[in-house]
């Protein structure tokens, strides 16, 4: 699972495919809320706002 900004989305998708040999699901964090999980505020690769969950 990766939480990234728009700039790092493609890199996270490539990394997911390399690791799991399957296409990920991509969740837009602006449109989806999780009752039991609060996503990180920042991209795991930079300090930009986290926007996508790649899982």
Residue 49's alpha-carbon distances to 18, 21, 22, 40, in angstroms, are 25, 27, 26, 9
Of 15, 2, 1, 4, residue with least CA distance to 42: 4
Residue 29, pLDDT score: 97
Write out the two tokens for 3. 């939480």
Residue 41, pLDDT score: 94
Average pLDDT over residues 25-32: 97
- Which pLDDT band holds residue 6 (cuts at 50, 70, 90)? very high
What predicted TM-score, i.e. pTM, was given to this entire model? 0.91
- Which pLDDT band holds residue 7 (cuts at 50, 70, 90)? very high
State in Å, rounded, how far the first CA of the chain is from the last one: 5
Share of residues in the chain with pLDDT > 70 (%): 100
């Amino acid at each position: 699972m990766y939480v990234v900004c728009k700039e790092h989305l493609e890199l996270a998708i490539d990394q997911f495919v390399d690791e799991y040999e399957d296409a990920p699901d991509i969740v837009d964090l602006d449109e989806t809320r999780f009752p039991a999980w609060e996503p990180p505020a920042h991209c795991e690769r930079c300090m930009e706002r986290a926007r996508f969950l790649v899982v």
